[in-house]
């Protein structure tokens, strides 16, 4: 059987799939996509889901016994569970959830004889490299989140290597993801633009790799066709855009003139982020602006996604169209 025949055979197979972190932003949409393909789904999460309540089973990646019960009878595990925000406290949660959770998932897969795992890692494992990293680029994370994802990848890789000819591991390193109902950094930027509160920090010529929710979920389903082995992919919807271009696209989607407006030098923006970090510590509150977010906003955060072409995957949505659709969903009078 050649590779294409093998792929088609796997594509036709309907599986019972545990989506760990299935109540989240990506997990909810992924489950919808998998159901449309005819798969039997279990939504595994510590928080209840409003999107798929009938499929929900409560479990925590830090509790192996709860995972064992939730994943029993499954053929595939998707691990989307993660502590990922910039202001997680205590910091040890990054390790407890992302690293210890990875080990618990591998142990459960071992006990249940599950031979397929799909893990959403992050481009944060690369840090801030001077050039666009491909999948062979050395790890150099700049924060605890990136470090925890790098450690989790090693754990999953060891699991696959223990039975190379039988186990399929796909690790996807997505860049920043946006879409309806997400409340991450891209949404914060959209909201500031929509409410006329946006000030450009720095020159705005820095490039950004981004990914649409619908496209990344389509790719997560697409990789179910991969044969046994360790498959690693960066994920970004190309081409990349400058921060200036992204803001102009957002303004046009809101029916406004495509002009940037006010600008603030990077050094002043960073100082403002530092001040808000100190205030957050003193008041135990969180703020949408921080040093980490200022640094990420002003940096080139670009990754190579050339390897995606090897899989034959074609994103269902063009990036700027997906961005405009998200803005229309979030900020139309109907949804407000």
Q: Which residues are catalytic?
A: 145
Sheet holding 229-235, edge to edge: 56-58, 40-45, 16-20, 76-79, 116-120, 168-174, 229-235
From CA 100, how far away is CA 83, in angstroms rounded?
12
From CA 207, how far away is CA 229, in angstroms rounded?
33
- Whether the bond between 335 and the residue before it is cis, its omega within 30 degrees of 0, is no
Let me know: does 159 contact 112? Beta carbons within 8 Å: no
Let me know: does 32 contact 218? Beta carbons within 8 Å: no
For 3, residues 6+ apart whose C-beta sits below 8 A from its C-beta are 227
Let me know: does 61 contact 20? Beta carbons within 8 Å: yes
Integer CA distances (angstroms), 123 to 130, 144, 172, 230, in order: 14, 13, 9, 17
Which is it for strands 200-201 and 176-178: parallel, antiparallel or unpaired? unpaired
């Amino acid at each position: 059987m050649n590779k294409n025949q093998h792929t088609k055979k796997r594509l036709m197979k309907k599986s019972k799939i545990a989506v760990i972190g299935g109540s989240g932003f990506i997990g909810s949409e992924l489950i919808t996509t998998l159901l449309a393909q005819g798969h039997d789904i279990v939504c595994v999460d510590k928080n209840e889901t409003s999107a798929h309540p009938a499929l929900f089973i409560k479990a925590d990646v830090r509790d192996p016994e709860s995972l064992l019960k939730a994943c029993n009878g499954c053929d595939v595990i998707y691990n989307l569970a993660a502590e990922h925000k910039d202001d997680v406290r205590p910091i040890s949660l990054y390790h407890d959830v992302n690293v210890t959770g990875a080990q618990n998932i591998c142990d459960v897969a071992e006990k249940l004889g599950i031979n397929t795992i799909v893990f959403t890692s992050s481009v944060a494992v690369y840090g801030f490299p001077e050039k666009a990293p491909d999948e062979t680029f050395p790890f150099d994370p700049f924060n605890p989140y990136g470090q925890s994802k790098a450690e989790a990848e090693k754990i999953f890789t060891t699991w696959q290597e223990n039975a190379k000819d039988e186990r399929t591991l796909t690790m996807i390193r997505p860049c920043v993801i946006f879409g309806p109902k997400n409340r991450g950094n891209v949404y914060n930027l959209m909201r500031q633009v929509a409410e006329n509160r946006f000030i450009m920090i720095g020159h705005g010529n820095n490039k950004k790799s981004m990914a649409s929710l619908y496209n990344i979920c389509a790719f997560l389903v697409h990789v179910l066709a991969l044969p046994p082995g360790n498959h690693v992919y960066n994920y970004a919807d190309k081409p990349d855009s400058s921060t200036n271009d992204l803001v102009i696209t957002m303004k046009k989607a809101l029916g406004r003139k495509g002009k940037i407006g006010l600008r603030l030098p990077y050094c002043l923006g960073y100082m403002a982020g530092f001040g808000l970090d100190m205030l957050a510590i003193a008041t135990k509150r969180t703020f949408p602006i921080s040093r980490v977010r200022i640094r990420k906003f002003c940096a080139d955060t670009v990754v190579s996604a050339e390897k995606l072409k090897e899989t034959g995957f074609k994103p269902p949505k063009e990036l700027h169209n997906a961005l405009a659709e998200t803005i229309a969903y979030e900020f139309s009078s109907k949804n407000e």
